[in-house]
Amino acid sequence: MPETDDASLVLYYAPRTRSFTALWLLEELGVPYRLESFAIHSGRHRKPDFLALNPLGKVPVVLDEDTPVAELGAMAIYLADRHRDRAELSPAIDAPARAAFLRWCFFASAIIEPAYGEKLLGWETPPGTVAWGSFERTMTALEAGLVPGPYLLGDAFSAADALVASALRFGMLFGALDKGREPFAGYVAHVSARPAFARARAIEAREGKRFPRPR
């Protein structure tokens, strides 16, 4: 396993958060990394040294030697491009699939997540004034991207799949999406069968036991 105590690549991580997506990406890449794990309710992410890495005080954050990288989309692109020698999780910059890869990397956080907010929190937003248009428009666009399959870029799994599949799992977990809705359910099941996903889940379970939810 690439998880080690002396790696120069550090993942600041809290179980049961979006950190899982970054953990999964690192397991897919197979690059050595150190896990800096803590309970989200501890307030560790509000300390000055953490805020110096990400002023929003959010996890995950990756520290690559002296370079901090926040935001999952940026993390996915940065890590996939930097470590293409370990695993080809991003198309080359001049590859035809590069544009679609970048689109889906940003789609997960910039479009899917706020669309969930509309659905779960009952936001009333004119479709022409927000980037995601509406919840149903977002889901229709995502369906169109997934139907050719098996992955967003066709036959090749990429970092974009980890981002989008994680967003879909989040939606199913919190009730924004029906767990049986297709093609989402089939796509999530297919991507979740990957060995790197299973390794990340095992680490998540371990860290969840170390840092249980407060009672």
pLDDT computed for residue 6 by the predictor: 86
pLDDT computed for residue 215 by the predictor: 83
Taken in order 135, 138, 139, 140, is the CA torsion positive or negative? positive
CB atoms within 10 A of CB 41: 11
**46 has a pLDDT exceeding 60:** yes
Element (H, E) at 208: helix 195-210
Rounded mean pLDDT of 172-195? 97
Q: What is the DSSP string of 90-147?
A: S--TTSTTHHHHHHHHHHIIIIIHHHHHHHHHT----GGGSTT--HHHHHHHHHHHHS
**1 has a pLDDT exceeding 90:** no
Rounded mean pLDDT of 102-128? 96
Taking only the tens place, the pLDDT of each residue in 166-179 is: 999 999 999 999 99
Give the chain's domains with CATH numbers: 9-89+196-210 (3.40.30.10), 98-194 (1.20.1050.10)
Distance, CA of 44 to CA of 26 (rounded, Å): 22
CB atoms within 10 A of CB 210: 10
Distance, CA of 95 to CA of 114 (rounded, Å): 30
Question: Given the structure tokens 């501890």, which residue do they identify?
Answer: 42
pLDDT-derived band at 131 (thresholds 50, 70, 90) equals very high
The pTM assigned to this predicted structure is: 0.96
Q: Which tokens is 105 given?
A: 């990397």
CA 75 to chain centroid, in Å, comes to: 9
Helix (H, G, I), strand (E, B), or coil: what is residue 37? strand
Q: What's the half-sphere exposure (Cβ side, CA atoms, 13 Å) at 149?
A: 14
Taking only the tens place, the pLDDT of each residue in 53-111 is: 999 999 999 999 999 999 999 999 999 999 999 999 999 999 999 999 999 999 999 99
**13 has a pLDDT exceeding 80:** yes
**188 has a pLDDT exceeding 70:** yes
Which segment of 1-10, 64-73, 118-127, 137-146 scores lowest on mean pLDDT? 1-10
pLDDT computed for residue 203 by the predictor: 98
Peptide bond between residue 183 and the one before it cis (omega within 30 degrees of 0) = yes
Higher-confidence residue: 143 or 2?
Answer: 143
